[in-house]
Structure 1
Amino acid sequence: MSTVDVNVQGDLTIGGIGTGDLVERYGTPLMVYDEGMIRGNAKLFRDAFNESGLKYQVAYASKAFLCKEMVRLAEQENLSLDVVSGGELYTALEAGFPAARIHFHGNNKSEDELLMALEAEIGCFVVDSFLELELLHDLAKEREQEVQILIRVTPGVEAHTHEYITTGQEDSKFGFSISNGQAATAIGLAIRKPYFSLLGLHSHIGSQIFEQEGFDQAIRVLSDFMQRIRIDLDVMMPVLNIGGGFGVRYTEEDQPLPIPTYVKGITDSVKTYFAKNEYPLPEVWVEPGRSMVAEAGTTLYKVGSKKIIPDVRTYVAIDGGMTDNIRPALYQAKYHAVLANRPNEECTELVSIAGKCCESGDMLIWDLMLPPTNYGDILAVFSTGAYGYSMASNYNRIPRPAVVFVDNGESRVVIERETYEDLVRKDR
Structure 2
Amino acid sequence: MKKPFVTKEQLDAIAARYPTPFYLYDERGIRENARRLKAAFAWNPGFREYFAVKATPTPAILKLLHEEGCGCDCSSLTELMMSDRCGIRGEEIVFSSNNTPAEEYQLADKLGAVINLDDITHVDFLEQAIGHIPEKICCRYNPGGVFTLGQTREGFQVMDNPGEAKYGMTRAQIADAFRMLRDRGAKEFGLHAFLASNTLSNEYYPQLAKVLFQLAVELKEETGCHITFIDLSGGVGVPYLPDAPENDIAAIGEGVRRVYEEVLVPAGMGDVALYSELGRFMLAPYGCLVTRAIHEKHIYKEYIGVDACACNLMRPAMYGSYHHITVMGKENAPCDHKYDVAGGLCENNDKFAIDRMLPKIDRGDLLVIHDAGAHGFSMGYNYNGKLRSAELLLREDGSVDQIRRAETPDDYFATLVW
Fold-level similarity (TM above 0.5): yes
Deviation of 1:234 after TM superposition, in Å, equals: 1.9
CA RMSD of aligned residues (A): 2.3
Do structure 1's residue 58 and structure 2's residue 49 form an aligned pair?
yes
Once residues 159 and 333 of structure 1 are traced to their aligned partners in structure 2, the CA distance between those partners, rounded to angstroms, is: 22
* Residue pair 1:294, 1:383 contacting (<8 A) in 2 also: yes
For residue 127 of structure 2, what is the amino acid of its counterpart?
H
Offset of residue 342 of structure 1: 3.0
Q: Report the Cα distance in structure 1 between the residues aligned to 2:219 and 2:385, rounded to whole angstroms.
A: 52
- The answer to whether the 8 A contact 2:200-2:239 is kept is no
TM-superposition CA deviations, 1:74-108 (whole Å, max 9, x none) = 22111111011111111111122233311101111
Structure 2 vs 1, CA of residues 155 and 281 (structure 1 numbering), >3 Å: closer, same or farther? farther
1:177 and 2:170 are equivalent in the alignment: yes
Query: In structure 2, do the counterparts of structure 1 residues 308 and 229 end up closer, same or farther at CA, with 3 Å as the change threshold?
Result: same
Whole-angstrom CA distance in 2 between matches of 1:217 and 1:380? 35
Q: Is 1:336–1:368's contact at 8 Å kept on the other side of the alignment? A: no
Q: Report percent identity of matched pairs.
A: 25
Quote the offset at 1:159 in angstroms. 5.5
The SS at the match of 1:154 is: coil
Query: Quick check: 1:419 aligned with 2:403?
Result: no
Distance 2:3 2:403 in 1: 19
Q: CA 1:159–1:67 in 2, change beyond 3 Å: closer, same or farther? A: farther
* Matching residue within 36, 54, 64 for 2:28: 36
1:64-103 mapped onto 2 (5 Å cutoff)? 64-103=55-94
The answer to whether the aligner puts 1:331 opposite 2:319 as a matched pair is yes
Moved more, 350-359 or 182-191: 182-191
8 Å Cα contact 2:387-2:408 kept in structure 1: yes
Q: Distance in 2 between matches of 1:347 and 1:169?
A: 40
Residues 205, 236 of structure 2: 8 Å contact kept: no
Structure 2 CA distance for partners of 1:53 and 1:349, relative to 1, 3 Å: same
- Distance in 1, matches of 2:331 and 2:409, equals 33
TM-score (norm 1): 0.89
Deviation string 1:344-375 (CA, Å, 9 cap, x unpaired) is 33332111111111101111111322222222
Residue in 2 that maps onto 1:105: 96
Q: Which moved more, 1:320-329 or 1:392-401?
A: 320-329
Listed one character per residue, the Cα deviations across residues 367-415 of structure 1 (whole Å, up to 9, x for unaligned) are 3222222222111111110101110001111000000000221000111
Letter in 2 for 1:260: A
Distance 1:6 1:402 in 2: 17
Quick check: 1:391 aligned with 2:379? yes
Which residue number in structure 2 is paired with residue 274 of structure 1? 264
Distance, in Å, in 2 between the alignment partners of 1:21 and 1:422 is: 27
* Alignment check: 8 A CA contact 1:82 1:105 kept: yes
Residue-by-residue CA offset, 1:226-272 (whole Å, 9 max, x unaligned): 22222222223121111111111212242131222222222222222
CA distance in 1, matches of 2:233, 2:281: 12
- Give 1:152 shift: 0.5
Question: Normalising by the residue count of structure 2, what TM-score does the alignment of the two structures yield?
Answer: 0.91
Is 1:224 aligned with 2:214? yes
For the Cα contact (< 8 Å) 1:319–1:355, is it kept in 2? yes
Aligned twin of 2:293: 303
| Stretch deviating more after TM superposition (203-212 or 378-387) | 203-212
- CA deviation map 1:317-345 (0-9, x unaligned): 11112101111122221011111143333
Query: Structure 1, unaligned stretches of length 5 or more?
Result: none
Q: Secondary structure at the match of 1:209?
A: coil
Partners of 1:420 and 1:260 in 2: how far apart? 47
Matched letter for residue 176 of structure 1: M
Distance 1:3 1:79, change over 3 A: farther
CA distance in 2, matches of 1:79, 1:211: 23
The Cα shift of 1:301 comes to: 0.6
User: Equivalents in 1 of 2:3, 2:302: separation in Å?
Assistant: 31
Q: Hey, what's the Cα distance between the residues in 2 that align with 1:45 and 1:411?
A: 26
Task: Provide the residue aligned with 1:210 in structure 2.
Answer: 200
User: Deviation digits for residues 196-236 of structure 1, max 9, x if unmatched?
Assistant: 34422011112211114433333333222222222222223
Paired residues in the alignment total: 407
Partner of 2:308: 320
Distance, in Å, in 1 between the alignment partners of 2:85 and 2:211 is 39
* Counterpart check, 1:117 vs 2:105: no
**1:47 correspondence with 2:39:** yes
* Letter matched to residue 367 of structure 1: D
Is 1:137 the counterpart of 2:121 in the alignment?
Answer: no
Look up the match of 1:374.
362
Change in CA separation of 1:160 and 1:22 when aligned onto 2, cut-off 3 Å: farther
Mapped to 2, the partners of 1:257 and 1:321 lie a distance apart of: 30
Counterpart of 2:412, as a letter, is L
Q: 1:409 to 1:6 in 2, by over 3 A?
A: closer
- The alignment status of 1:242 with 2:235, answered yes or no, reads no
Tell me which residue corresponds to 1:356. Answer: 344
Query: Is the CA contact (8 Å cut-off) linking 2:189 and 2:225 kept in structure 1?
Result: no
Aligned CA distance change for structure 1 residues 159 and 353 (closer, same or farther; 3 Å): farther
